[in-house]
Structure formats: structure tokens, C-alpha cells
Structure 1
């Protein structure tokens, strides 16, 4: 019974880690897009902080 519970717990942990990593990838993509838009849309004077 204990090994079965350990395997289920390990599966839940791995599923949670995979879900968190997928979320982090999407966050990284959104940040990259925002950075690129800010880089392209910066003022012509070059006074932006991008």
C-alpha cells in the first residue's frame, strides 16, 4: 500500500512540476514579446530605458 501511495505522490509532483514549467515558458514568451514591442516602439530620441 505504501509503495502505491509513493508512486501516486511522485506522479502528482511530476505533473505539478510539468504544469509549472509550462506556465513559466508562457510567462517567458509574454515577457519577451513585451520587451520586443518596447524595443520597437521606443522614442526616436533614444531616451527610453529599453
Structure 2
């Protein structure tokens, strides 16, 4: 079961890809850079979550 925080990785990856595309099409390098950083961070969070590591806080709240 995925929680609300589990969807964060997908949102970050999608936002990163959108910024990559916009930056590439318009030639604005800062958008390309930010998009690349967001995509990489999203992939790292996705991999860490998939292997069961707690990211950004405690794994359990009880």
C-alpha cells in the first residue's frame, strides 16, 4: 500500500522531466539544470523507498 509520501517520488520525477523538456525546447539552461537535478533526486528517493530505507524521517511513527 502506497502512502501519500510514496507518490512524492513520482511527482518529482515527472516535474523534472517536464522541466528538462521545456528547458531543451526553449534553450533555457537553468530549466534544464533544475529538471535534471529534480529527476535525479526523484529517482534516488524512488530507489531508496523501493529497498525499504526510511528517507527524511522515521520509518514508523508509533
TM-score, with normalisation over the residues of structure 2? 0.40
| Greater fraction helix | 1
Larger Rg: 1
Tell me: higher relative CO, structure 1 or 2? Use CA pairs within 8 A at least 6 residues apart.
Answer: 2
